[in-house]
Structure 1
Amino acid sequence: MDCETAEEQGGLGLPPGALGGPGWCGSPALGGRREPKKYAVTDDYQLSKQVLGLGVNGKVLECFHRRTGQKCALKLLYDSPKARQEVDHHWQASGGPHIVCILDVYENMHHGKRCLLIIMECMEGGELFSRIQERGDQAFTEREAAGIMRDIGTAIQFLHSQNIAHRDVKPENLLYTSKEKDAVLKLTDFGFAKETTQNALQTPCYTPYYVAKQLIRLLLKTDPTERLTITQFMNHPWINQSMVVPQTPLHTARVLQEDKDHWDDVKEEMTSALATMRVDYDQVKIKDLKTSNNRLLNKRRKKQAGSSSASQGCNNQ
C-alpha cells in the first residue's frame, strides 16, 4: 500500500496527490491520531532482516506488504511513554509536505515485550548528503541548494503549524524517496519531537553548509528574539524565489567526497550540537544542595568550613 492508496482508503474523498504538490504524502492521518492495530503485523507485512537505518529509539527494517508487494520500512519501538509520544507526533505530522509518510502502526509483542511497529514509506534514495557525494564531477549548484533548504523549511513550517518541534533536523534524518532525479526530500525520525503551544518556534534547524551568507547570520543569532522565525526564513528571497537563484557551481560535492572518511565524525558532532540545544524543562531535576556531591560545591564547603574554624578560634581568644 503506497501513500496515495492510503489517501484514497482513508475516506478523504480526494484523488491521489490532491492534498498538495510534490512532497505531500497524502496520509489519512493528517492532523490527527489513530489507535495502533492490535493484530500481528506479519498478517499484513512480510518482514526482512535487512536493516535500513537506526533511529533515535529503534532500528528500521525492510518489509513488504503481502497483498501489493510494496516495499516499506518498519521501525520497531519497545512500548513506553516516549515511544508513544514519537508515534503520536509522527502520525500527526504524516501527510504533511516533505514528511516521511506513516502507512500503519501495530501494537504487538516482541521477545516477550510489548512494542510498537511503525510502517513507513521506504525512502530508497538515501540520505541527503550521500546523494550530494554521489554527484561526483557533476556540479552541485546554488539553485539546487536553495531548493533543498526550501523543502526542509516547508517541512519545518508545517510541523510548527501543528505545534510540533522536530528538534533533530540533521543529515541522517533527511531522506530521498528514490534515486531518480525528481525524487522528493523528506524529514523523518520523531524520536526527539516535542509538542509546544508556543506561537514562535525559533530554534535554528538548518544546515548552514548551503545558505546564503546574509541568511546564515540571521539564523545563527544567539538571542532568540533576534533570530529568524520559520515564517521569516520561508519569506527570504533566497528561499521563496529559489528558482531564480543563479546556477553558481558549489564545491560542496567535492568537499563531501574528499572528507568522506571524516563524515561520520562530522555527523556525530552535529548530533552532539543538537543535543545541547534540547532542554526538556519538565524532565530537569533540581538536586538537593545538602546531598549533592558536586566537585565545585565540595571545594566551597571545605573553604567555608576552614573560615568557620578560624573564626571560632578568634572568638575563643
Structure 2
Amino acid sequence: MSDDNNGDKFIKESSILEEYNINWTQKLGAGISGPVRVCVKKSTQERLALKILIDRPKARNEVRLHMMCADHPNIVQILEVYANSVQFPHESSSRARLLIVMEMMEGGELFHRISQHRHFTEKMASQVTKQVRDGMLKISTSLNSCHPHPLLLLFSQDAPVKLCDFGFAKIDQGDLMTPQFTPYYVAPQVLEAQRRHQKEKSGIIPTSPTPYTYNKSCDLWSLGVIIYVMLCGYPPFYSKHHSRTIPKDMRKKIMTGSFDFPEDEWSQISEMAKDIVRKLLKVKPEERLTIEGVLAHPWLNCTEALDNVLPSAQMMMDKAVVAGIQQAHAEQLANMRIQDLNVSLKPLNSVNNPILRKRKLLGPKPSDGFFIHDPENGGEDSNVALEKLRDVIAQCILPQAGQCENEDEKLNEVMHEAWRFNRDCKLLRDGLQGLSWDGRTFSDKVDRLKLAEIVKQAIEEKTNLQEAH
C-alpha cells in the first residue's frame, strides 16, 4: 500500500444504507474527527463502529494511513469505506463524506477500562504498555509516522488494547514543522515548533530557510505521559491555573521536563516503572528512550509479580474523575482537528463529552444522499457558560500544583465565575444549595468530587437543551 492513492480503491461509491443500518442517536464516543456511531451490518447483524469525515484529501490520507497498519492485532481494523453524500441538520445541502466502518471496541476507552478494575495492578499497566508499544512499533515501521498526541486507545471486549485515530498522522521525513497536539501530552519539541512558527508568522523573527522540526520521538514522550497517568491517575504536567491555552507555568514545566512522583501515589510503585517514565520524559530527543529501548526496558520484561494495586484505579472509580481524565485523553480530540497553519489549544476544562449526548432522528430523506438530525461535530463548544462550568470540574479533579493553602479560595473564585453565567440552571442551583453555596463562596468545606458530579450533570442538561434547539 505504498502508493498514495492505494487506499482509494477500497472506497465504495454505493450507498452505505444498502448494507448497513445506522443508529444516528447512539454515539460510542469521539475521536479527533468527531463522534463515532453504531451501525449494524444487515447480512450478519454484527454491530460495528462508524466514523464520518468530510471527503477531502486529508480525510482520504487518514483512511490510507490507517489501512496501511490495520492488519496489526493492536490497531483497530477498518472493514469498509463509503463515499456518500450526507446532509446534517445545520446544513442547507448535502456534502460529500467518507463513512468508515470499523470493528466495534466493546471494551471502551483505556481509562474507562481501568476504572472498572477495582484491583488494577502495576503488572496490568505494564501489559497495556506492551500492547501500546507494539501498535506504535507497527505504525513507526509501516508509516514512519508521527502522532504528536496520544492515540485513541480502545479495548475490544475482554481483549487487548488497540490504537485508533490517524487524523494527525504525518509521514516523518525528518521535516515535521506544524505543531498539532493535545496539551497534557505535548512534547517540548512541539511547543518549540509552535513558538517559532508563531514568531515567524508575526514577523518577530525572520523565516528560517531551515525550519525547526520535530519527529517521531514525540510519540515516545506521549507514551511516557500515558504510562504516568495509568500509574497514578493524573498527568505529570498540569497547572494550578486552568485556562484555554497552556499557562506559562505548565509550558515551563514541559519545556524543562519538571515533574515529580508524589509520595502519596507513588510510594508503592516500582523503581522500574519510575525509570521508564523518566527516560521517556527526557526533554532532549536524543536522550529520550527509543522504541527499541522501550522494547528492551526491564519494566516490560520483568518476571516479578508487580501485583501492587495502583492508585489510579481507585481514583478513576469516581465518575467525575473518570469523565475528566477521559476527556483530556480522548473526547477532547474531537476539537483538535485543526488546519496546518491554525494552531489552537483545547485543555481539559474546555472539552465536551459526546458520549452523553442524545438526539432524535428527524426530517425527510433528500434525493441526493440522506439527511439525519444530528450535528456532525459534537465538539462545537464555544459557549462561555459551559466553559466556566468545566473550569470548576478541572479545579475539583486535577491535583493542585505547588502550595495548597489557597485551594478553597481558588475554588470559590472559579465557582463564582461559573455561577455568574449559569444562574438560570435549576439543577445547578439545587445542587449548590446542598453544598452551602451563598452565591459567592462555600460556607462549609466542600466535597470536591460531589461538586464535580453536580456540575457535570448541569453541563449535560445545558448541552442537551442547546441541542434540542
Above 0.5 in TM-score? yes
Q: Distance in 1 between matches of 2:338 and 2:99?
A: 28
User: Does residue 205 in structure 1 map to residue 222 in structure 2?
Assistant: yes
Contact in 2 for aligned 1:150/1:242 (Cα 8 Å): no
Distance 1:81 1:154 in 2: 28
Contact 2:51 2:99 in 1 (8 A): yes
Any conservation in 1 of the 2:146–2:169 contact (CA below 8 Å)?
yes
Matches within 5 A, 1:25-44: 33-35=7-9, 36-44=11-19
Report the 3-state secondary structure (helix = DSSP H, G, I; strand = E; otherwise coil) of the residue aligned with 1:253. Answer: helix
Unaligned runs of 5+ in 2: 1-5, 88-93, 176-214, 232-271, 344-469
- Matched-pair identity in %: 34
How many residue pairs are counted as aligned between the two chains?
243
What is the TM-score when the length of structure 1 is the normalising length? 0.69
Q: Is the partner of 1:135 in helix, strand or coil?
A: coil
Q: Give the equivalent residue in structure 2 for 1:289.
A: none
Match of 1:315 in 2: none
Q: Deviations over 1:160-179 (max 9, x none)?
A: 00112233325xx111111x
Unaligned residue ranges in structure 1 (runs of 5+): 1-31, 286-317
In 2, Cα distance between equivalents of 1:234 and 1:274: 28
Which residue pairs with 1:132 in the alignment? 114
Structure with greater helix share of residues = 2
Q: Show the 5 A alignment for 1:269-284.
A: 269=328, 283=341
Please say if 1:85 is aligned against 2:68.
Answer: no
Q: String of CA shifts for 1:283-305, please: whole Å, max 9, x gaps.
A: 489xxxxxxxxxxxxxxxxxxxx
Judge conservation of contact 2:50–2:101 (CA < 8 Å) in 1.
yes
Q: CA RMSD in A?
A: 2.9
Cα distance between partner residues in 2 of 1:55 and 1:272: 6
Whole-angstrom distance in 2 between the partners of 1:68 and 1:271: 30
Counterpart of 2:222, as a letter, is C
SS at match of 2:23: strand
**Residues 79 and 116 in structure 1, CA contact (< 8 A), matched pair in contact too:** yes
Deviation string, structure 1 residues 189-248 (Cα, Å, up to 9, x no partner):
111111113497211232123370111110111111111111111111211x15545222
Partner residue in 2 for 1:261: 320
92, 99, 124: which is aligned to 1:117?
99
* 1:83 to 1:251, Cα distance in 2 relative to 1, 3 A: same
After TM superposition, the runs of 4+ consecutive aligned structure 1 residues lying more than 6 A away are 271-275
Instruction: Compute the TM-score of the two structures, normalised by the length of structure 2.
Output: 0.48
SS of the aligned residue for 2:295 comes to helix
The Cα of 1:38 is off from its aligned counterpart by 0.8
Alpha-carbon contact 1:146-1:238 (below 8 Å) kept:
yes
* Corresponding letter in the other structure for 2:17: T
User: Once the two structures are superposed, what CA deviation does each residue of 1:93-126 show, in whole Å capped at 9, x if it has no partner?
Assistant: 2112300000001111111110001000000111
Q: Does the aligned pair in 2 maintain the 1:94–1:100 contact within 8 Å?
A: yes
Question: What is the one-letter code of the residue matched to 1:166?
Answer: H
Higher strand share: 1
Deviation by residue 1:250-298 (Cα, 9 ceiling, x = unmatched): 222112224x4144444455579999xx999x7489xxxxxxxxxxxxx
Describe the SS at the equivalent of 1:222.
coil
Counterpart residue number, 2:371: none
